[in-house]
Amino acid sequence: MRLKHHVAVITGAGSGIGRASAREFAKEGAKVVVADINLDGARETVKQIEALGGAGLAVEVDVADPQSVERLVDETLKAFSQVHTLFNNAAIQVNKTVENTTVEEWNREISVNLGGVFLCSKFFMPHLRKTQGCIINMSSVNGFFVEPMCAGYCATKAAIIGLTKAMAIDHGKEGIRINCICPGYIDAGLAEGYFQAQPDPAAARAAAGKLHALWRIGKPEEVARLAVFLASADASFITGAALTVDGGFSSGLPPAS
């Protein structure tokens, strides 16, 4: 087990990639704090962790709210005394142009996607310093390879890449590693919401698959396993990196047939 005696906090772990990551961390021996704005979803993830023989704690949190994040820190330390990995995974997506995005939608997307990384990193940093732990931030290939109708989302994901590199430089001398993951289309979470909003979800999913060199969209477990690697000692000399797990999506469009 690569993460035995390890405590990981994963935001947005009540579903999708976050839930898959919580399970994978637990399989590797980590105790997992499952943080999500949807407490029922978080509790379901903990049930799945326990079914695997692991230990988890469900905590309701709004990563855009400083007081809520501080409660998350307190609950984590109360339950497990320490923390080794913070995985800033929580995010929302507004599928609109800038012109059509409301001010409220813009502010919420910024405060959750980017503000959540800032707040969680800020309040967990003193405790990660004690364990020489690590932070994993969820970005996206849309941080550097943009698509239509998601201007705010692309902006936040690009900013997360920059913030990751800045934090890595600031805190590397303290032994804290900070990296981000940039997935392509993944069959879970935000992408699933996008597919279901289309007139023909199955056709939309198939079309998205053909944008990738591997001609398919990814599985949440394929992202989760990269997160486990980044949290482990196997990644001990990796920091400030933006790692793609995108089936070749960002490499360019593959042949049509």
The 10s digit of each residue's pLDDT in 15-31 is: 999 999 999 999 999 99
Q: Both tokens of residue 225?
A: 């396993």
Question: Shortest CA distance to 15 belongs to which of 31, 33, 35?
Answer: 35
Query: Is 185 an annotated catalytic residue?
Result: no
Residue 252, domain member (yes or no): no
End-to-end CA separation in angstroms for the chain: 42
Give CA separation, 62 vs 68, 138, 168, 247, in Å.
6, 16, 25, 31
Residue 155 has pLDDT above 90, yes or no: yes
CA dihedral 53, 54, 60, 66 (to 10 degrees): 180
Residue 149 has pLDDT above 70, yes or no: yes
- The residue from 80, 87, 124, 153 that is catalytic is 153
pLDDT band at 129 (very low <50, low <70, confident <90, very high): very high
pLDDT band at 147 (very low <50, low <70, confident <90, very high): confident
Give CA separation, 43 vs 13, 35, 46, 59, 157, in Å.
10, 9, 5, 8, 28
Strand partners, 186: 218
**Burial of 70 per CB tally in 10 Å (0-12, 13-18, 19+):** middle
Q: How many domains does the chain have?
A: 2
Pairing assessment for the beta strands 31-36 and 7-11 based on DSSP bridges: parallel
pLDDT value for 243: 98
Note the maximum CA span of the chain: 55
| Enclosing domain of residue 202 | 187-217
Distance CA 244, CA 164 (A): 14
Do residues 97 and 36 share a domain? yes
Do residues 24 and 112 share a domain? yes
Do residues 213 and 225 share a domain? no
Residue 14, domain member (yes or no): yes
Considering only residues 202 and 51, tell me which one the structure prediction assigns the higher pLDDT: 51
pLDDT band at 61 (very low <50, low <70, confident <90, very high): very high
Do residues 212 and 152 share a domain? no
Residue 227 has pLDDT above 90, yes or no: yes
Distance CA 111, CA 96 (A): 17
